[in-house]
Every structure is written in C-alpha cells, then in structure tokens.
Amino acid sequence: MRAILLLGGLGTRLRPFTLAKPKPLLPILDRPMIAWQVERLRRFGVREVVLALGYGAAHFRRSLGTGRAWGVRFIYSLESEPLGTGGAIRLASKHVQGPTLVLNGDILSDLDLAAFAAFHRRQKADATLSLVAVPDPSAFGVVETAADGRVKSFLEKPAPGTTKADTINAGCYLFEPSIFSEIPEGRPVSVEREVFPALVRGGRRLFGLRHGGYWLDVGTLETYLGSHADLLKGNSMRSRPGARRLRKGLWAAPGARVHPSAVVKGHVYLGPKCRVEEGAVLAGFVCAGAGTVIGEKASVSDSVLHARVRVGAGAKVAGSLVGEGASLGANCQVQGMAVAPGSAWGDYSRSFSCLDKPSRNG
C-alpha cells in the first residue's frame, strides 16, 4: 500500500518558526516531525510515500532526499499554488493505486494502522476517517456517526449542547481509489469541509473509527511544546537511534556533554554535541537540539531549544520555544516566549508573555 502525506500547509500558527522551515520539518525531539509519521507507516508496511508539497517544497527535497535513509521511497507531488488538503490529495493520487492511506503531516498518534485498515475492509467503506474525542468539540468540525461507525454528518463548530457527538477528524484517512476522481481538480479544495460532506450527501460509504489512544495535532506553539512533554515523559527515547541514558531522566545523543555539577530534575533530551555547563539546572521537560549550549548556572524548564541555541550564564528560560541559532545573553529571563530563529537577546533582557501552558489538542 502507498500513502500520501499532506505537508504543504503554511503553518501560520507556528510562525515565526515556520518562516524558516515548513512545519513538518520542525524538529520534535531533534528529528523532523515527519519522521515520526514515516516511521509508523514503515512499521505498517508502507514502502512508498507520496509527499504532497506546496509551501517550502525545496526545503523538503534538501532535507529528505529519496527516503532511503528511512527505509522508504519518497515520491514528490508538487503544487504550483496551494490546493488545500483535498486538492493536494487529488493531485497526489496520480501516484497511487488501490486503497491509500492519507495522513496530515502534523499529527502524532499511536493509531494502530493495521486495525484501522481491517475496519475499513470489514465495513466495505469507500473512505474511513480516524476520529478522536475531545472535551469541548465546539471549537472543531464534529463528525457524527451511527453505531456501526457510518458517518451521518459533519457539523462545523456546533454550538454547545446542539449535538451529543464529541468526535473530531483526526487527520488520518483510508481511501478507495474511486474517491479520488470525485475531488474537484485544479482548484483549492478542503477535504474536511467540502469533500467529506459531499461524499456523505452522495450516499458514499464513509466510516469513522474512534481512536482512544494517543493523538496530538501539533499545530500551535502550545501543542508543539506539549508534544515534547508527552514524548519525553513517555520515555520515547528508546526509539531515538543513538540516544543514551546518562543519568535518571537524562538522555543524550553522541557527543553531548553535561558538567557533573549540572542538575537534572525531570525529563531531558540533548542532541548531538550539546553542552550543559557548570551548575546549570534543567527541570520539567527540556529538549535541546544539536550543538546547543546551556551556560553556567543557567536554568531551563519546560522548554524546547532548537539546534545551535546559546543560553548565556545565569539565564532563565521557562515554558518557551527558542528557535535555531538564537542567542540569549547572560542573565536573560524568558518565560512563555516564542524566540525567533537567529534572534539575539542582549544580557539581562527580560520577557514574560502570553504563551499558554503546553497543551493537548489545540
């Protein structure tokens, strides 16, 4: 089976980080977000993955190449203008035959793809959607299903109390090939808002399978930080090739160095050649990308530092995302901040802001 990965969105909610790099290439635990999806597909047996690209296509080619390093073959489908999720699927569908998995590129999930495909076959579905329950569905597009999972309707941001359904589209689909030709061609189309409702109206067999396991839409700064918290606390380090456990709660890639007096209270991952200097304190969850340096007596908590970040001596970083190559001078205080890649903050700069706590699901 081939799969299509949807990767061409602008990632506006994750700006400024997505100005330098498209969202699916932003690192999660120091590896591109898309790597987590590709690994799941490969474990399921997919060997050829169609990358549906628009915004930032050149970045993908540079970073991903042929896919051989990950044990798959990438097929590039390029949009000259954004076609939306539905238009992107239609364009990419010329590279696939037979039933095809389609995944959003910004989802972390432990959905059992084999069980998902078995459900699809059992129901003789034309298309199957993975669904997840959320506590307050009124901010989402809600999917109403019958007892056997057949989709009855889609409700866009329903007012509280107007439906009993609490399941939303989880961004993972299985399509029979006959569906592709029903997607309008050559113009932007939303699969969620246009294609699926039209299929239901047209009597096609659309099913939803509720997923009760892990699922996170990594679309906002809060959920991006939350993804790191979840993965670090879930001890996913075992799936990071080469990561070693240096002490309790501290995992590091080759070449990372931690001064013996540095304190680790929580769950930490350090990328290759990171350095943590004398008396530094790392608490809660912390991920530092390749070559990042955390200076003497600095403290970092509940934060993600991308590659080659400098945190000056005595600086305090809490609940923040610091972009690649950014530099925070000595004794800076940064709390709840999105620090743009490459920016330089002078000594003693302070900023306390508006980022909510790392969160789940939007």
Binding site for ligand GTP (CB under 6 A): 6-13, 23, 52-54, 79, 82-85, 88, 104-106, 219
For ligand GTP, give the closer residue by CB, 132 or 268: 132
For ligand GTP, give the closer residue by CB, 86 or 329: 86
Minimal distance in Å, beta carbon 218 to ligand GTP? 9
What whole-number distance in Å separates Cα of residue 168 and Cα of residue 321?
A: 28
Per the CB < 8 A criterion, the answer to whether 34 and 7 are in contact is yes
What whole-number distance in Å separates Cα of residue 25 and Cα of residue 265?
A: 29
Minimal distance in Å, beta carbon 9 to ligand GTP? 2
For ligand GTP, give the closer residue by CB, 5 or 280: 5
For ligand GTP, give the closer residue by CB, 83 or 294: 83
Minimal distance in Å, beta carbon 87 to ligand GTP? 7
* 264's tokens: 């680790």
* Region label for 188, one of left (φ > 0), alpha (ψ between -120 and 50) or beta (otherwise): beta
Minimal distance in Å, beta carbon 189 to ligand GTP? 9
* Helix, strand, or coil (residue 249): coil
Minimal distance in Å, beta carbon 286 to ligand GTP? 25
Sign of dihedral through CA atoms 42, 323, 293, 231? Answer: negative
Query: Dihedrals φ, ψ of 49, to 5°?
Result: -125, 125
Minimal distance in Å, beta carbon 202 to ligand GTP? 23
Q: Of all helices (H) and strands (E), which one includes residue 77? A: strand 73-78
Q: Of all helices (H) and strands (E), which one includes residue 128? A: strand 127-133
Per the CB < 8 A criterion, the answer to whether 163 and 155 are in contact is yes
For ligand GTP, give the closer residue by CB, 104 or 320: 104
For ligand GTP, give the closer residue by CB, 51 or 339: 51
> Which residue number is nearest to ligand GTP in terms of Cβ?
9
Q: Single out the residue of 102, 137, 129, 120 nearest to residue 199, CA to CA.
A: 129
* 190's tokens: 């939303």
For ligand GTP, give the closer residue by CB, 105 or 295: 105
Minimal distance in Å, beta carbon 224 to ligand GTP? 11
Minimal distance in Å, beta carbon 179 to ligand GTP? 17
Minimal distance in Å, beta carbon 110 to ligand GTP? 18
Q: How far is CA 116 from CA 46, 101, 228, 229, in A?
A: 14, 10, 26, 27
For ligand GTP, give the closer residue by CB, 123 or 220: 220
* 17's tokens: 């980080």
Question: What helix, strand, coil percent values describe the chain, rounded to 5?
Answer: 25, 35, 40
For ligand GTP, give the closer residue by CB, 140 or 345: 140
* 263's tokens: 């304190």
Biggest CA–CA distance in the chain, Å, is 66
